[in-house]
Amino acid sequence: MGKTFRTGKGPVTLIILLLAGGVIGSALGQAMAHYLPVLKNFTTIGLNNTTFNLHFLQVSFGITMSLGPVTGLGMILGFLAYRKL
């Protein structure tokens, strides 16, 4: 018997589709912002870079996301593509 591979709907697939939709949406939004200025509206959310220094160990963590109208639309389309799988 041959091996069967699980297809489809794992959390990694969802993350990849959301990221791809966000990247494509951001690129389209920035390209179209010259023609439609309303697409320049970006909101930045997240946690700025934070550093913990224990003299022998230094740990830095931070994550931010710039969300625009077309970026959000791209992420929604990525989620819908995930649901179609």
| Predicted model pTM | 0.72
Beta strands in 1-85 (DSSP E): 43-53, 58-67
pLDDT truncated to tens, each residue of the chain (85 aa)?
A: 455 555 667 889 999 999 999 999 989 988 898 888 888 778 888 988 889 999 899 999 999 888 889 999 999 999 999 998 8
Tell me how far apart the alpha carbons of residues 15 and 21 are, in angstroms, rounded to a whole number.
10
The answer to whether residues 70 and 25 touch, using CB atoms and an 8 Å cutoff, is: yes
Q: The tokens of 30 are what?
A: 């920035």
Segment holding 55, helix H or strand E = none
| Placement of tokens 């929604």 in the chain | 76
Amino acid at 40: K
